A and B are shown apart, each in its own frame.
Chain A
Amino acid sequence: MKLRNALFAASALVSVTATAALADGHATTLTIATVNNGDMIRMQGLTDDFTEKTGHTVEWVTLEENVLRQRVTTDITTNGGAFDIMTIGMYETPIWGANDWLVPLDDLSDDYNVDDILPAMRAGLSHEGTLYAAPFYGESSMIMYRTDLMEAAGMEMPDAPTWQFIREAAAAMTDRDNEINGICLRGKAGWGEGGAFITVTANSFGARWFDEDWNAQFDQPQWAEALNFYVGMMEESGPPGYATNGFNENLSLFQQGKCGMWIDATVAASFVTNPDESTVADSVGFALAPNSEGIEKKSNWLWAWALAIPAGTQKADAAKEFIEWATSTGYIELVAENEGWANVPPGARISLYENANYKDIPFAQKTLDSILAADPTDPTVDPVPYVGIQFVAIPEFAGIATEVSQEFSAAYAGQQTVEEALEKAQAITNEAMEAAGYR
């Protein structure tokens, strides 16, 4: 009867753990949901410092971005209380804040110096002037390019190039026999992936998501122009299978030396210049994201990963202590001490860009310039009824833009034409906006 013994052993184990689970009670332990980006992983490694200072311990729930969004959204809308701190972005914060689902961060201590947060970040993480999430790091987008390949192509990158120049340069740098692609850009479906990139690109061609009456604008010539330009350029100089490449895939390609240029998040600058990870670390240059000739709007976005406290938590005070620790200047210094200045979380605080140590970092100034050039309240050439650059800050946007970007990706993969994709995007968007009661 070996099996019977095994059954007994198993049920004994069951009861032991059940009691153990009941036993741990009073010490304040924070449960924090976060995304598996490098800066957050670094923060996890430094948690001991927080525990030493405050006595609180931390349990991390680290998830991939899409899973994280799905997980925290379910919890916040049902008031589930599974997390004490959530890592969310500029898209979610104002919407959730407006619903009173987040604890307002209006009583942070003086030491924390909330006025040191970059105004663009602070505005994007507030609803009606109240801060609902503290930025852990902020980003815009910019061009990262290989100085050696640029030189070999006999061209020189201006500080603020146009799309037309980029296309030309990309074609000149491309060497498919040696697996060098002139340009790597996001094409992956998903509103935060290729959806974000094509939206900012379209902005810089004078397109917009909605007119002032919330009518979808995909039937307008600017969208066709932007999309055709993108597809044309990627076909000339992009990597194979770019329709499934997102941030991470492109980062890998760039680090392997397979991209001449890459336009993406400013935080990537520290990864591509890190000699431990990147084979091209010492030959990377930076420039502002491009605009189309004759149009002033540049194609750079604005984003922040921020820490927020859901209203359902019982541990708001300890959670605030954690947020003050993790988004403070003290934390930045802690990272600088352990990992060097190039690896501190960027884009959140003014003082960082005034710090003499940080000024030497090659991408610091371009990052700041990019962030300052982005204005979520005025993202497009023609007027729009929404706030947000690479997104539209309404609850329906994530669903709509994911489906729209899936149609675009299908066009990138050659499964349909750009015109068909735009027609479908127009239908999907108007359908959803009608269902939501905007039109």
Chain B
Amino acid sequence: MARAVTTQRKALNTAIAWAIGLLIFFPILWTILTSFKTEAQAIADPPVFLFFDWTLENYAVVQERSNYMRFLWNSVFIAGGSTILGIIIAVPAAWSMAFVPSKRTKDILLWMLSTKMLPAVGVLYPIYLIFIKLGILDSRLGLTVVLMLINLPIIVWMLYTYFKEIPGEILEAARMDGASLRNEILYVLTPMAIPGIASTLLLNFILAWNEAFWTLNLTAAQAAPLTAFIASYSSPEGLFFAKLSAASTMAIAPILILGWFSQKQLVRGLTFGAVK
């Protein structure tokens, strides 16, 4: 991969890439900066970038108005729970698809993906009624299950593609040594698939964290995650850019930090079988 390039070429690459990277990142950067301004500075013309009186006032106001920690914890619980639950259910399914393929494997895979195409708004009433009947309205458990179901097809597919890349001979060898199916999955396959599982975990955590239809419509006070938190700041009265920015920063910061720390995983692992 390492091609010999001139320093000049490298400098040019760097300049272009940084310019584009900063341009793409700018909306997020601007939001974070604005969250430290006063409302008047937030709409100042011409806009101020770094030289303003940094203030934490907006965060104080947002924190005083809503119990951020509870929303955060609900988000962590729901996104984390649904991802883990999904992995537990998806690993065996993906394993059998990858190593005992049948003629219908591809059809099943595509069918699973197609379940994601049902428009959520169309079934809000039926699902809401079912949730009432089961008594799981505004419960983290109910939401965890729904988000798991929504993301399950993606999880199965991702795991399937990783398992697929594991050479069959290793399994044969393990079987020769008399490993049971359970041991085969637990001690041979899983360790090899760890990078794949990790990036699956990450991607689905992100998707579940950002899901905003069911998390908003099936919750009230108890189970509401950060998507509901943001819905209370979307257009309050008066000037609000700075407060909106603070609330937005609080809603995206945890996942942004997680994403940054794990970006190597994501870059390596997010293939969906695209690489042969």
Contacts and interface: CB of A to CB of B under 8 A. Distances in A.
A78 B129 contact: yes
Given A67-B231, A81-B132, A256 B43 contact: yes
Interface in A1-28: 3, 7, 10-11, 13-14, 17-18, 21
B81 interface: yes
B14 interface: no
B235 interface: yes
B132 A251 contact: no
A3 B197 contact: yes
Contact of B132 (A17, A59, A67, A78): A78
Interface stretch (B2-10, B100-108, B175-183, B217-225): B217-225
Contacts of A74: 124-125, 128, 217
A426 interface: no
Contacts of A271: 237-238
Contacts of B66: 60, 62
A82 B239 contact: no
A246 B216 CA distance: 23
A131 B124 CA distance: 31
Contact of B216 (A37, A59, A71): A71
Contacts of B221: 31, 59-61
B202 to A, nearest CB: 12
Interface in A41-66: 41, 44-45, 59-65
A61 B186 CA distance: 44
A71 B217 contact: yes
A254 B182 CA distance: 69
B220 to A, nearest CB: 4
B139 A21 contact: yes
Contacts of B64: 45
Given A78-B125, A80-B132, A255-B239, A64 B234 contact: yes
A62 B232 contact: yes
B166 interface: no
Nearest to A59: B221
B220 A61 contact: yes
Interface in B148-181: none
A44 B65 CA distance: 8
B24 to A, nearest CB: 25
A61 B216 CA distance: 11
A275 to B, nearest CB: 13
A83 interface: yes
A17 B236 contact: no
Contacts of A33: 220
A345 B158 CA distance: 55
A11 B231 contact: no
B239 A252 contact: yes
A256 B125 CA distance: 43
Contacts of A59: 220-222
B140 interface: yes
Nearest to A254: B238
Interface in B230-247: 231-240
A32 to B, nearest CB: 8
A228 to B, nearest CB: 29
Contacts of A3: 194, 197-198
A20 to B, nearest CB: 11
A252 B69 CA distance: 30
Nearest to A29: B221
Nearest to B224: A61
A364 to B, nearest CB: 19
A36 B66 CA distance: 11
A282 interface: no
Given A10-B84, A17-B140, A248 B236 contact: yes
B238 A82 contact: no
A221 interface: no
A67 B228 CA distance: 10
Interface of A: 3, 7, 10-11, 13-14, 17-18, 21, 31, 33, 36-38, 41, 44-45, 59-65, 67, 70-71, 74, 78-83, 246-248, 251-252, 255-256, 271, 277
Interface of B: 39, 43, 64-66, 77, 80-81, 84, 124-125, 128-129, 132, 137-141, 194, 197-198, 216-217, 220-222, 224, 228, 231-240
**Which 6 A-B pairs give the minimum distances between C-beta atoms?**
A59-B221, A62-B232, A82-B220, A64-B234, A38-B237, A31-B221
17 contacts: A3-B194, A11-B84, A13-B77, A13-B80, A38-B236, A38-B238, A45-B64, A45-B65, A59-B220, A59-B221, A61-B220, A67-B231, A80-B137, A246-B235, A251-B237, A252-B43, A252-B239
Given A37-B236, A82-B138, A82-B220, 15 more contacts: A14-B81, A36-B232, A36-B233, A38-B236, A41-B236, A61-B221, A63-B231, A78-B132, A79-B132, A81-B132, A82-B137, A246-B235, A248-B236, A251-B238, A255-B239
